[in-house]
Amino acid sequence: MRILAAMSGGVDSAVAAARAAEAGHDVTGIHLALSRNPQSYRTGARGCCTIEDSNDARRAADIIGIPFYVWDLSDRFHEDVVEDFMDEYAAGRTPNPCLRCNEKIKFAAVLDRALALGFDAVATGHYAQLRNGTDGLVQMHRAVDMGKDQSYVLGVLTQDQLAHSLFPLGDTTKDVVRREAADRGLLVADKPDSHDICFVADGDNAGWLKEKLGDRNPNAGGDIVDSSSGEVLGQHDGTVGFTIGQRRGLRLGTPAADGKPRFVLDIEPVSGTVSVGPRDGLRIDRISGIRPRWCGTVPSVLAGPDVTVQLRAHGREHRAVVRVAVDGDDGDDGDVAIELLDPAEGIAPGQAAVIYDGTRVVGSATISATARSSALDRALA
Amino acid sequence: MTVYLDHAATTPMLPAAIEAMTAQLASVGNANSLHASGRGARRVVEESRERIARALGCRPGDVVFTSGGTESDNLALKGIFWARRAADPRRVRILSTAIEHHAVLDPLDWLAEAEGAEVELLPVDDRAHLRLDALRESVERDPASVALISVMWANNEVGTLQPIAEIVELAAQHGIPVHTDAVQAIGVVHVDFAASGVDALSLTGHKVGGPYGVGALVVRRDLQVSALVHGGGQERDIRSGTLDPPAIAGLAAAIEASVKRQDHHATRLRTLRDDLVRRVVEAVPEAHLHGDPEVRLPGNAHIGFPGCEGDSMLMLLDARGIECSTGSACSAGVPQPSHVLLAMGCDDDQARHSLRFSLGHTTTAADIDALVEAIGPVVERARAAKAGVR
């Protein structure tokens, strides 16, 4: 096959490209330039968008012996990922830009261009496994290395996208990948893993958002109130950057009456109000999801001992029952209702709920609202 | 087999240059040393200077060896600007064009930022000829304030030859020095330094079949040039640094050989180039030549392919062993829309849909055949990619 290997400059995508080439595929490496101003993104060895990363990817391609190019996706990235990130935070939600990037950039803009240019598939260094199901559909499963499993951020991929994808690392542990990189003479073998959001240079989301949002910032400050009494406990300098479940950075002078830590329970961007309360207030067991993306056939009800949802990257699995509204009926557009059998804590609208059956990814939805069942309410009362 | 159609980026070394360079690599001698070995090295340098002077119609003393085109441009622009302004503080303007190479544009930006130079980048017409009326208007507005004029001999992207004679005539009326970046011109069009009347001319080795990392600024001895690189006082105290006899010998051999065969070479390139353009346009009817069909470098074919992106086409051709250029500057490996095409009045899309094929001394008719055979399918795929059709 003709494979386009997306190479971030990190060790994983370098080994993925090398494995694809050694499997006999005709591989071409590309690095995605995602920043309009490359210096402004993360510097050093942690991100995926710097000039150093581009050079690292180029040197890996040299050593693997494949052609290498840089593709400029900066405009698309800005429109589809960065703007969305800002809009979501401005609306008081907590987006995951990595899922968005996979959905809109790596497995859409890049994949479409690759297929048009005559490639058969796009290979990345994500830790997830693809298998052919008996029904002829491609299934995506969790990686063997559960510590590195990235099926969560790929939960937005549809059957068509999966059918043109290749994840050569899904059956391997990270330490084996690093060892293989060293054995192949790849200079990125010891490069640290990337964390955080690649376009927020110093990891300070709130500071970045305040600077970039400008006029679109819904408020420049407001009250921090107690969620049950309504009492004003303090002030903050803007709701953007607050996340439900957040404990640090509230800077409340007086401790809670019970002496226990307080957490952000709700964010109201229009009034600029951040509600805080005890940890119990974070517990929920009902989730509404919108914008569902299904890896294969659209289900109606998913139930059973192996059905779980994951609610954040590297988060735990929650056993669940998932119901999908019939697409198009009274405008509900196939929304997803999730009952968690194991309650979750600190779940923010905007995050993705990725639905699994065992190790297989069924699909995902963007969380629009959370709630408690009366049973959970009683249990916490 | 590789079909190399990117000679404007760099061209293979000529056998005479390889021979001249390798002959010196094992020799010892600092050209500034006073003993026999030093004199030997100095002799190689000075004979090379004389050979270059003969080939380019300048005096040996006009030749200042540098590390290449970029350094020569920097030395000319900054060195002449500083010296002219020091002589008369009113001289703060530098007139140039919007289509210069970045080796000129970026030093000009720097001079404007750091040194308070007033830089005017004059417009070109839709074939990338400098608008002489604009230059005249700009000069005559206040001739005494012009420190220098810098206009390239031939554009590196679309190949248009600039009206150097007219520029020199206008500048001479006001005693303004003229610098020209002739990196693309030497050996393919007739360049005679003295006859041209320019005061300074940049050239580089690797575009004329010589080695990388060596070039020269040919600059009239009586023109004051401030130094950029200070040290041992070599090269008229304008450009210090131990001279590199092997590279300089290779450079001289390449210039000599390429100037000697220039007429014949240009005719051969023009025939191949015209064949390339005609047959590519036959294969892709919407394709069109950018620049001036006549007044251009004989080896340059800069072609627009509507509906395509240059970098997609480049990649598809590369996969077929055909090497060319999008003809625009890269920033971190990312092709930017060409400032030359934008200056010619193209929009952003047009500025991205082009490829530059540049022919040179190793180009054969078989290379053109290979390109013509590949171009149709390549354009078809690149169009689909741009349109987002799988």
CATH 2.30.30.280 is right for the domain spanning A218-277? yes
Cα–Cα distance, B350 to A92 (Å, whole number): 41
Q: Would you state the pLDDT for residue B388?
A: 76
- A chain contacts of residue B333, beta-carbon cutoff 8 Å: 31, 33, 54, 58, 69-70
The residues pairing with B337 across neighbouring beta strands, listed in sequence order, are none
Q: Would you state the pLDDT for residue A42?
A: 46
Nearest 5°: the CA angle B364, B369, B370 is 95
Catalytic one of A48, A98, A101, A295? A101
Cα–Cα distance, B210 to B248 (Å, whole number): 9
- In chain B, the percentage of residues whose pLDDT exceeds 70 is 97
**B200-235 confidence digits (pLDDT tens):** 999 999 999 999 999 999 999 999 999 999 999 999
Sort A75 into a burial class: Cβ within 10 Å, 0-12 / 13-18 / 19+.
Answer: exposed
Q: How far B383 CA sits from the closest chain A CA (Å)?
A: 9
Q: Name the B residues in 209-248 with CB < 8 Å from any A CB.
A: none
Give first-to-last CA distance, chain A, whole Å: 60
Sequential DSSP letters for A72-134? E-HHHHIIIIIHHHHHHHHTT----HHHHHIIIIIIIIHHHHHHHTT-SEEE----EEEEE-T
Q: Is the sign of the CA dihedral B168, B170, B171, B174 positive or negative? A: positive
Indicate yes or no: CB of A112 within 8 angstroms of CB of B388. Answer: yes
Give the distance from CA A272 to its chain's centroid: 26
Indicate yes or no: CB of A116 within 8 angstroms of CB of B311. Answer: no
Check: CB of residue A156 under 8 Å from CB of residue A352: yes
Q: Would you state the pLDDT for residue B331?
A: 59
The token pair at A203 is 């990891």
Helix (H, G, I), strand (E, B) or coil at A295: coil
CA-wise closest residue to B382 among B328, B311, B329, B286 = B311
Q: Name the A residues in 32-51 with CB < 8 Å from any B CB.
A: 33, 38, 51
Check: CB of residue A17 under 8 Å from CB of residue A29: yes
Q: How far B247 CA sits from the closest chain A CA (Å)?
A: 28
The token pair at B139 is 């000069």
A49 carries an active-site annotation: no
Query: Which pLDDT band, with edges at 50, 70 and 90, does B1 fall under?
Result: confident
Q: What is the CATH number of domain B15-260?
A: 3.40.640.10
Cα–Cα distance, B222 to B224 (Å, whole number): 6
User: How many residues would you count in chain A?
Assistant: 381
Cα–Cα distance, A377 to A175 (Å, whole number): 44
Cα–Cα distance, B255 to B247 (Å, whole number): 12
Give the other-Cβ count within 10 Å of A130's Cβ.
17
Which residues of chain A fall short of a pLDDT of 70? 37-49, 327-333
Q: DSSP secondary-structure letter at A255?
A: P
Unique residue bearing structure tokens 């293979």: B12
A308 touches chain B (CB under 8 A): no
Cα–Cα distance, A344 to A361 (Å, whole number): 19
Give the architecture-level CATH label for domain A283-380. Answer: Beta Barrel (2.40)
Indicate yes or no: CB of B333 within 8 angstroms of CB of A116. Answer: no
Cα–Cα distance, A145 to A193 (Å, whole number): 15
Cα–Cα distance, B82 to B92 (Å, whole number): 9
Residues B95/B101/B103/B104 CA torsion (nearest 10 deg): 0
The token pair at B36 is 């026999």
Q: How far A112 CA sits from the closest chain B CA (Å)?
A: 6
Q: Would you state the pLDDT for residue A292?
A: 94
Helix (H, G, I), strand (E, B) or coil at A333: coil
CA-wise closest residue to B344 among B108, B105, B131, B104 = B131
For residue A132, the one-letter residue type is N
The token pair at A246 is 């957040």
* pLDDT at B372 > cutoff 90: yes
Give the distance from CA A38 to its chain's centroid: 22
A58 touches chain B (CB under 8 A): yes
Q: DSSP secondary-structure letter at A377?
A: H
Cα–Cα distance, A169 to B362 (Å, whole number): 45
Sort B249 into a burial class: Cβ within 10 Å, 0-12 / 13-18 / 19+.
Answer: buried
Q: How far A71 CA sits from the closest chain B CA (Å)?
A: 7
Sort B72 into a burial class: Cβ within 10 Å, 0-12 / 13-18 / 19+.
Answer: buried
Q: How far A312 CA sits from the closest chain B CA (Å)?
A: 32
Pick B346 or A252 by higher pLDDT. Answer: B346
Sort A212 into a burial class: Cβ within 10 Å, 0-12 / 13-18 / 19+.
Answer: middle
Q: DSSP secondary-structure letter at A64?
A: H
A116 touches chain B (CB under 8 A): yes
Mean pLDDT to the nearest integer, B154-182: 98
Q: Would you state the pLDDT for residue A44?
A: 41
**B31-86 confidence digits (pLDDT tens):** 999 999 999 999 999 999 999 999 999 999 999 999 999 999 999 999 999 999 99
B348 touches chain A (CB under 8 A): no
The token pair at A342 is 């194991």
Closest residue of chain A to B337, computed from CA coordinates: A72
CA-only gyration radius of chain B, Å: 21
Cα–Cα distance, B202 to B264 (Å, whole number): 24
Unique residue bearing structure tokens 């007139």: B95
Model-level pTM? 0.90
Please state which CATH class domain A2-183 belongs to.
alpha beta
**Domain residue ranges of chain B, discontinuous segments joined by +:** 3-10+262-387, 15-260
Q: Round the average pLDDT of chain B to a whole number and report it.
A: 96
Q: Is the sign of the CA dihedral A10, A16, A17, A21 positive or negative? A: positive
Q: Would you state the pLDDT for residue A163?
A: 97
Cα–Cα distance, A223 to A219 (Å, whole number): 11
Indicate yes or no: CB of B316 within 8 angstroms of CB of A115. Answer: no
A115 touches chain B (CB under 8 A): yes
CA-wise closest residue to A14 among A66, A50, A52, A49 = A66
The token pair at B59 is 């005096």
Q: Would you state the pLDDT for residue A45?
A: 36
Three-state secondary structure string covering chain B: CCEECECCCCCCCCHHHHHHHHHHHCCCCCCCCCCHHHHHHHHHHHHHHHHHHHHHCCCHHHEEEECCHHHHHHHHHHHHHHHHHHHCCCCCEEEEECCCCHHHHHHHHHHHHHHCCEEEEECECCCCCECHHHHHHHHHHCHHHEEEEECCCECCCCCEECCHHHHHHHHHHCCCCEEEECCCCECCECCCHHHHCCCEEEEEHHHCCCCCCCEEEEECCCCCCCCCECCCCCHHHCECCCCCHHHHHHHHHHHHHHHHCHHHHHHHHHHHHHHHHHHHHHHCCCCEECCCCCCECCCEEEEECCCCCHHHHHHHHHHCCEECECCCCEECCEECCCHHHHHCCCCHHHHHCEEEEECCCCCCHHHHHHHHHHHHHHHHHHHHHHHCCC
Helix (H, G, I), strand (E, B) or coil at A176: helix
Cα–Cα distance, A49 to A199 (Å, whole number): 8
From B333, B335, B390, residue closest to A112, measured CB to CB:
B390
ipTM of the complex: 0.88
**B241-289 confidence digits (pLDDT tens):** 999 999 999 999 999 999 999 999 999 999 999 999 999 999 999 999 9
A31 touches chain B (CB under 8 A): yes
A48 carries an active-site annotation: no
Closest residue of chain B to A55, computed from CA coordinates: B332
The token pair at B126 is 């839709």
Catalytic one of B308, B324, B330, B346? B330
Helix (H, G, I), strand (E, B) or coil at A318: strand
Helix (H, G, I), strand (E, B) or coil at A327: coil
Give the architecture-level CATH label for domain B3-10+262-387. Answer: Alpha-Beta Complex (3.90)
Q: Is the sign of the CA dihedral A285, A288, A293, A298 positive or negative? A: positive
Helices of type H across chain A: 11-22, 51-64, 74-77, 83-90, 97-101, 110-116, 159-163, 174-183, 205-213, 374-380
- B chain contacts of residue A58, beta-carbon cutoff 8 Å: 333
A74 touches chain B (CB under 8 A): yes
CA-wise closest residue to A284 among A372, A167, A216 = A372
**B283-341 confidence digits (pLDDT tens):** 999 999 999 999 999 999 999 999 999 999 999 999 999 999 997 666 556 667 899 99
**Domain residue ranges of chain A, discontinuous segments joined by +:** 2-183, 218-277, 283-380
Indicate yes or no: CB of B334 within 8 angstroms of CB of A74. Answer: yes
